[in-house]
Structure 1
Amino acid sequence: MDEEMVRERDARAYEAVHEAADFTKLKTRYKNFVVPWTIAFMAWYLAYVACCNWARGFMDHQVVGHINVALIFGLLQFVSTFVIAAVYGRFANRKLDPLASGLNAKYKRERRR
């Protein structure tokens, strides 16, 4: 096959997948997960930064020994990142991957035509 025919075949296969109801469902599910979690994480991060800048007395408060609120908030930033990643991984395995696998199979079938 010449290169132009391969490109046309691939474009038709992509169009077929793009027009599938499962593709729209996949995009919607992804967006409905990512947008709220991104907003939540950014709010949490900005709250941490704001407290470090404007609530120094609160952030300097000693909790145990030399461990203060700022250190705990900083460590919780890492924890929240890993928690969100784990929640996303579980969500993707249950809700996104089955749709994506089906769409991948559809793409491969369409390319063989």
Structure 2
Amino acid sequence: MSTDAPDQYERIAASPEFAGLRRALRRFVFPMTIAFFTWYALYVILSAYARGFMGTKVFGNINVALIFGLLQFVTTFLIAWLYARYADRKLDPVAEEISARIEGGGYGPAAEPAAEEVAR
């Protein structure tokens, strides 16, 4: 980066590409976070207040609480996998484009976004 790094950062952060990248990230992260915390809260609340249900034997010594607990791990890995797929499709191409523009000086003082980039 050049000596005007703070100015360059502000230009990048104000660009429509960067704003779109942030929106795309939020479209995934916020709903998944809410869904996971809701699922986790359900597990905790049921463990605290529905002990009879959570203690119900499903087979052998395996009860509902154990299955719900293990599903917390499954959910975590599932969300990580979904995020990796989402990032590959939606985030990484835009981030690479922004990076290429930075490397090529496309966010310099005189650089203006191309008309088709602004239209996105």
TM-score by length of 2: 0.83
Query: Which structure 1 residue ranges, 5 or more long, are not aligned?
Result: 1-5
After TM superposition, the structure 1 = structure 2 runs for residues 15-30 of structure 1, keeping only pairs within 5 Å, are 15-30=10-25
* Moved >6 Å (runs of 4+): none
- Corresponding residue of 1:7: 3
- Supply the AA of the counterpart residue of 1:31: R
RMSD: 1.9
- Supply the AA of the counterpart residue of 2:20: K
Greater share of helix residues, 1 or 2? 1
Query: Which structure 2 residue ranges, 5 or more long, are not aligned?
Result: 109-120
1:80/1:112 CA distance change after superposition, 3 Å: closer
Pair 1:31-2:37 in alignment: no
Q: Distance in 2 between matches of 1:14 and 1:110?
A: 12
- Corresponding residue of 2:94: 99
What whole-Å deviation, never above 9, does each CA across 1:13-72 have from its counterpart, x for those lacking one? 222321221101000010111000000000000000000000000000000100000000
Q: Which of 53, 59, 63 lines up with 1:64 in the alignment?
A: 59
TM-score by length of 1: 0.88
Q: Distance in 2 between matches of 1:109 and 1:99?
A: 15
Q: Distance in 2 between matches of 1:69 and 1:7?
A: 60
